[in-house]
Chains A and B, each alone.
Chain A
């Protein structure tokens, strides 16, 4: 569904993408993980026509984004990191304008607007001005809007940033459902638990390059199943163990200093790059 080959992008002297290559298969929920400034949003902006690509090749559903950008855009839906809804328009008007931009006829726009508002549980808010909605409702409306034209690939750029934990979980449930309904999802996040909960496959990006990818369990198991955090005067260290008994045994041997927990994606990222995701 998505194929990136050696993408390069610079902003002046700063290199945002330095030969990024990856593939996402149809129906996958792929989480693109990396710290701020790693190149996640730049990748999404390029794929959606918001930024120019310096070098490399990208195709969506087999359509080259440089050769036929309009055809590629028709296959995509985008939920940006920041709110880009029209606050002065109603919920319904935002969806209607989006439908027009994607060439949907009047009846089709009305039908899909109703369906998608029900899908995101906002049917009762269609006449509300967007500026009166809460952050969580705005984010759900952005997802409904991105789905209006029936994209095959949905880009979600940090979809839960700034939302409280309860709303975050509602968005996660919605994202899971979208993927179960057959839409390929490309999600960027720096929330580790979000990627662990949602993703079928993760990719780590650091300094504009993909440093690792695979199923979350596989990526984590490469380190071990259990981690021990040791807080020493010279700093914090994390050690990895195949079994819990081994980890507990290590702590006992150290005189009880340290704590045991399951290995997470943050550990994997840290061990690969020396940087934290979040």
Chain B
């Protein structure tokens, strides 16, 4: 437990020192999406009887939670390849699970900050939705899944450049195809089925249903929980493999 706390605390101390910069950086993309898609393009569009901006905000929160949780991979990469701080964890008598959980929880924390930023932006532009347990539960699980995936892939890549490729091939396509900007139900059957495999699709759907006061059902939570567990197991295996 102390080891887990040590890994988490280290990330939090760093986050606290850079908080102002981080909040600014985390605000840029959501603000641009709100301005371009939410207000300019979607100003005259309604989805299921709601304004496009109301449709967009929960999806944007899900997308931000994914990108910020996955951004842990970049932090771990820097610690591993440039600062060599990862060696301190490798040499310490700590179980791999403690390291993975500590980093993953740090990713979840970053993701929660980014969700708060998106909701604040929504509030600023007049979006009033209900952000209860169904909403936060879906996004917390989504964050845990992508933070765990971040730890796993950060251990498997051989250089910082490889990490950028993963962002290009995994995170960016998922951000645009995971139900953030359009309802998956509007797609033809095979495309909808394929995109339903993405964890982000489940997170967007559940977060949106929760924010609209509807019942998302148990399925998205189960799917996200299973994804988080699978990625965490992958991360534990990958930490052992990170030894040269």
Partners in one complex: yes
Does A84 contact B87, Cβ atoms closer than 8 Å?
yes
Does B84 contact A80, Cβ atoms closer than 8 Å?
yes
Does B89 interact with chain A (Cβ within 8 Å)?
yes
Does A52 contact B244, Cβ atoms closer than 8 Å?
yes
Instruction: For residue B10, give the distance in angstroms from its CB to the closest CB of chain A.
Output: 5
Secondary structure of the A contact surface, majority rule: loop
- Contact partner of A70 (CB less than 8 A), chosen from B17, B93, B244, is B93
- Contact partner of B90 (CB less than 8 A), chosen from A49, A82, A98, is A49
Does B83 contact A102, Cβ atoms closer than 8 Å?
no
Question: Which A13-27 residues sit within 8 Å CB-CB of chain B?
Answer: none
Does B14 contact A97, Cβ atoms closer than 8 Å?
no
Does A73 contact B93, Cβ atoms closer than 8 Å?
yes
Complex: how many Å from CA A86 to CA B243?
Answer: 20
Does B83 contact A101, Cβ atoms closer than 8 Å?
no
Does B244 contact A74, Cβ atoms closer than 8 Å?
no
A101-B84 contact, Cβ under 8 Å, with A89-B13, A93-B13:
no
CB neighbours (8 Å) of A48 from chain B are 90-91
> Other CB < 8 Å A-B pairs besides A78-B87, A86-B10, A88-B17, 8 of them?
A70-B95, A76-B91, A84-B85, A84-B88, A88-B18, A97-B9, A100-B3, A103-B93
Does B84 contact A82, Cβ atoms closer than 8 Å?
yes
Closest to B242 in A: A50
Does A36 interact with chain B (Cβ within 8 Å)?
no
Would you list the 10 A-B pairs with minimal beta carbon distance, nearest first?
A100-B6, A84-B84, A101-B92, A73-B93, A70-B93, A48-B91, A74-B93, A101-B6, A100-B2, A78-B91
CB neighbours (8 Å) of B88 from chain A are 84, 97-98, 101
A87-B92 contact, Cβ under 8 Å, with A50-B244, A93-B13:
no
Does B93 contact A52, Cβ atoms closer than 8 Å?
no
Does B93 contact A84, Cβ atoms closer than 8 Å?
no
Closest to B6 in A: A100
Question: Which A214-256 residues sit within 8 Å CB-CB of chain B?
Answer: none
A101-B87 contact, Cβ under 8 Å, with A50-B244, A51-B244, A93-B13:
no
Binding site for B on A (CB under 8 A): 11, 45, 48-52, 69-71, 73-74, 76, 78, 80, 82-89, 93, 97-98, 100-104
Instruction: For residue B36, give the distance in angstroms from its CB to the closest CB of chain A.
Output: 34
Secondary structure of the B contact surface, majority rule: helix
Question: Which B152-205 residues sit within 8 Å CB-CB of chain A?
Answer: none
Complex: how many Å from CA A87 to CA B17?
Answer: 12
Binding site for A on B (CB under 8 A): 2-3, 5-6, 9-10, 13-14, 17-18, 83-85, 87-95, 243-244
Tell me the number of A-to-B contacts counted with CB atoms below 8 Å: 76
Closest to B17 in A: A88
Does B92 contact A102, Cβ atoms closer than 8 Å?
yes
A87-B83 contact, Cβ under 8 Å, with A98-B88, A100-B6, A101-B88:
yes
Instruction: For residue A39, give the distance in angstroms from its CB to the closest CB of chain B.
Output: 14
Does B91 contact A50, Cβ atoms closer than 8 Å?
yes
CB neighbours (8 Å) of A84 from chain B are 83-85, 87-88
Complex: how many Å from CA A86 to CA B88?
Answer: 10
CB neighbours (8 Å) of B5 from chain A are 100
Some 18 contacts from A to B, beta carbons below 8 A apart, are A50-B87, A50-B91, A50-B244, A52-B243, A69-B93, A70-B93, A73-B92, A80-B87, A83-B84, A86-B14, A86-B85, A88-B13, A89-B14, A97-B6, A100-B2, A101-B3, A101-B6, A101-B88
- Contact partner of B243 (CB less than 8 A), chosen from A50, A82, A100, is A50
